[in-house]
Structure 1
């Protein structure tokens, strides 16, 4: 129960800090602010400003891409569910050794069986290539958007503090 409260606290903190900064779709997809940067300095300054300005939206893009990657790779989804479900089931239903016939089944032997079956299944699900696809596609989308979006008028006053 205590762990569940910690998860709730982390989720609330994440929502308050990151997701509260979500910009509306009209601002995020404003095609009138799209332009090619003149040089590398302008591209770098745009990326710096826009990654801070649209950080909540970019986290949402990464989350959507991660869900898409999991849904299009069913073997990875099945293997992760098998490992997580097996781990939870062993913790819940087999905390103490059991006698089955002449054999004593311990929690350690159940974990070994879970990993002997689950890890090759996970390997076949290719999590490494899915991870690198997620990193690459996120980087292309986010850096492309951040580079092409002109900063708004408020960016001119970002360095000036109120008197």
Structure 2
């Protein structure tokens, strides 16, 4: 129960800090402000400004890509469910040692069995390829969007606020 409270507190803090800065979709997908940057300096400037300005939107895109990638990789989804479910079931139903014939089975034995089966299955599912696919895909999407979208009028006043 305490772990569930920690998770909800973490989700609440992310929601309050990062997702509170979500910009409206009309502003995020404003095709009137799309243009090719003149040079690398302008592209860098746009990327710098837009990644700060749309950080909540970009975080949401990365999260959605991660959820999509895990759902589409059935073996990874199954292995994650197996490991997380195994931990939950062991904690809930086997807190005490159990006598099974002549053998005593402790929580440590159950965790060892879970690891012996779950970790190879997890590694066989290709989590590193999924992770790097998410990282590359989201970085490409973010950099292209951030470099093509011209900063709004408020960006001209951002440098004035920084000096005050």
Note whether the superposition's TM-score is higher than 0.5. yes
Q: Where does residue 7 of structure 1 map in the other structure?
A: 7
- Range with bigger deviation, 84-93 or 7-16: 7-16
* Offset of residue 161 of structure 1: 2.8
Which residue of the partner structure matches residue 104 of structure 1?
104
Aligned equivalents of 1:105, 1:4: Cα separation in 2: 27
Residues in 2 aligned to 1:5 and 1:88: alpha-carbon distance in whole angstroms? 15
Q: State the shift of 1:2 in Å.
A: 3.7
User: How does 1:92-131 map onto structure 2 within 5 Å?
Assistant: 92-131=92-131
Identify unmatched segments of 5+ residues in structure 1: none
Equivalent residue, structure 1, for 2:43: 43
Match of 1:153 in 2: 153
RMSD: 1.4
The alpha carbon displacement at 1:151 in A equals 0.3
Once residues 109 and 7 of structure 2 are traced to their aligned partners in structure 1, the CA distance between those partners, rounded to angstroms, is 30
What does 1:68-87 correspond to in 2, within 5 Å? Answer: 68-87=68-87
Q: Structure 1's 5 and 119: CA in aligned 2 closer, same or farther, altered over 3 A?
A: closer
Specify the alignment match of 1:62 in structure 2: 62
After superposition, the Cα gap between the structure-2 partners of 1:3 and 1:117, relative to the gap in structure 1 and judged at 3 Å, is closer
Partner of 2:160, secondary structure, is: coil
Distance 2:14 2:29 in 1: 24
Shift of 1:70: 0.9
CA distance in 2, matches of 1:68, 1:126: 15
* Secondary structure in structure 2 of the residue aligned to 1:160: helix
Label 1:72 to 1:2 Cα distance change in 2 as closer, same or farther (>3 A).
closer
Structure 2 Cα separation of the partners of residues 3 and 82 of structure 1? 18
1:133 counterpart = 2:126 = no
Deviation at 1:96, TM superposition (A): 1.4
**More displaced 10-residue stretch of structure 1: 129-138 or 16-25:** 16-25
| SS of residue matched to 2:37 | coil
